[in-house]
Amino acid sequence: MIYFRSVTAAIVLSAALIGQAANAIDLPPENQPELRGLAIAQESKKRDAGFNDSISEMEMILTNANGDVSTRKMKFKTLEVPNLEDGDKSLMVFEQPRDVAGTAMLTYSHILEADDQWMFLPALKRVKRISSVNKSGPFMGSEFAFEDLSSQEYAKYSHSWVRDEPCGELTCHVVERKPLYEHSGYTRMISWIDTVDFLPRKIDYYDRKDQLLKTLTFSDYRLYLNKHWRAHNLFMVNHTTKKKTNLTWANFAFQTGLTEADFSQNSLKRSR
């Protein structure tokens, strides 16, 4: 049986960062970059609050430097946890590649402590509690690390506003984030967050030697329930290896009535 490592399945790359086109908010002044950076992240979170739960499907297309392609498909369920100490709960089930179809991962994410994670191995019917310290490893051979796919709670990072600048047709707040949790593969990330909806448009990741390692670009944002924006396309390029991963989301559904009972080990065993 193939053992995945800690897939932090808490899906929602975009989840922290959503909102409606609202009036401009009063941000702390530019001479207080930490407060200003934190306020931008909090505003993103606030605008997405109240989605309760969501169901979605993800496809990843991995391309190496020679142009060889491979595909992964997964289904996700997420439960919003309103408690500020904890991140969301999620359940992820693999559909492709076929040799791992039915393998599933249950995650109770936390802010600074390690997440609780259980993996279901369908051939053995075994639920195995796994270590979640492997934040920086690649998810299923892709250019996304586990920490890139985990619940993006603002309290996991320190924030510092750098500048505002044009980003495409929009204007973006450029904010530097540094992970506060252990075992990160990054010294820092530079994120571009638009000034209208407070959505992430681009993130540069800097490795442990502070070299630019990867760039993630968000596109195809769509609005759900008139409140929750989700990027349907996330494109990650690794500048060192020239490998790319294109991640697309589809079939989002919100407030479907999922409860805690849908995120138990029993539900993990019947997740297929």
Partner 1 sequence: MLKLKFTSLCLSASILALAAPQALNAAEVFFEGELSLESRAFLKAPASPHGKRHYGSVSTLLEMGIADDTNTHNFIIKGFARGDSEDDNRSHADLREAKYVFVRDSYELIVGIDHVFWGVTEFAHIVDIINQTDAVESVDGEQKLGQPMVRTSYVSDYGTFTGFYMPLHRPRNFADRQGRPASGLVINDNHETYESKHAYEQSEFALRYQNSLDAVDIGLAYFDGTARDPIIDPSNVLDGTIVPYYPLLTQISLDTQATLGPWLLKLEALQKDQLGEKTARAVTGFEYSFYGLAGGSSDLGVVVEYLWDEQQEEAAHPFANDLGIGLRWTANDVDSTTLLAGAIIDLDHQSMGLSLEAERRLSNNLSLSLEARFQTHVDESDLYLTSIKDEDFIRIELTTYF
Which residue in 91, 100, 105, 193 binds partner 1 (CB under 8 A)? 100
- Locate tokens 């603002």: which residue? 154
Q: Which region, judged by CB under 8 A, interacts with partner 1, from 44-52, 192-200, 246-254, 258-266? A: 258-266
Q: Using the rule CB under 8 A, is 2 a contact of partner 1?
A: yes
Return the closest-CA partner of residue 26 out of 18, 14, 35: 35
CA geometry: angle 131, 135, 136, nearest 5 deg:
135
Size of the site for partner 1 (CB under 8 A): 40
**Helix or strand or coil: residue 84?**
coil
CB-hemisphere CA count at 13 Å for 40? 30
CB-hemisphere CA count at 13 Å for 105? 30
Q: Using the rule CB under 8 A, is 71 a contact of partner 1?
A: yes
**Closer residue to partner 1, CB minimum distance, 199 or 268:** 268
CB-hemisphere CA count at 13 Å for 263? 26
Which residue in 126, 163, 222, 242 binds partner 1 (CB under 8 A)? 126
Q: Which region, judged by CB under 8 A, interacts with partner 1, from 29-37, 94-102, 171-179, 226-234? A: 94-102
Q: Using the rule CB under 8 A, is 251 a contact of partner 1?
A: no
The pattern of x and - marking residues 105 through 124 that bind partner 1 according to CB under 8 A reads ---------x-x-------x
Q: Using the rule CB under 8 A, is 97 a contact of partner 1?
A: yes
CB of 64 to partner 1, least distance (A): 7
Q: Using the rule CB under 8 A, is 101 a contact of partner 1?
A: yes
Write 229-236 long-range contacts (CB < 8 A, 24+): 229/14, 229/17, 229/18, 229/19, 229/48, 229/197, 229/199, 230/14, 230/15, 230/18, 230/56, 231/13, 231/14, 231/199, 231/200, 234/13, 234/14, 236/142, 236/143, 236/144, 236/148
Check residue 266 and report its DSSP letter: H
Give the integer Cα–Cα distance in Å for 187 and 209.
Answer: 8
**Closer residue to partner 1, CB minimum distance, 233 or 266:** 266
Check residue 174 and report its DSSP letter: E
CB of 232 to partner 1, least distance (A): 23
Q: Which region, judged by CB under 8 A, interacts with partner 1, from 50-58, 212-220, 223-231, 259-267? A: 259-267
Q: Which region, judged by CB under 8 A, interacts with partner 1, from 8-16, 27-35, 130-138, 163-171? A: 130-138
Q: Using the rule CB under 8 A, is 64 a contact of partner 1?
A: yes
Q: Using the rule CB under 8 A, is 128 a contact of partner 1?
A: yes
Using an 8 Å Cβ cutoff, are 154 and 41 in contact? yes
CB of 93 to partner 1, least distance (A): 12
**Which parts of this chain interact with partner 1 (CB under 8 A)?**
1-3, 5, 62, 64, 70-71, 96-101, 114, 116, 124-131, 133-134, 136-138, 140-141, 183, 185, 259, 261, 264-266, 270, 272
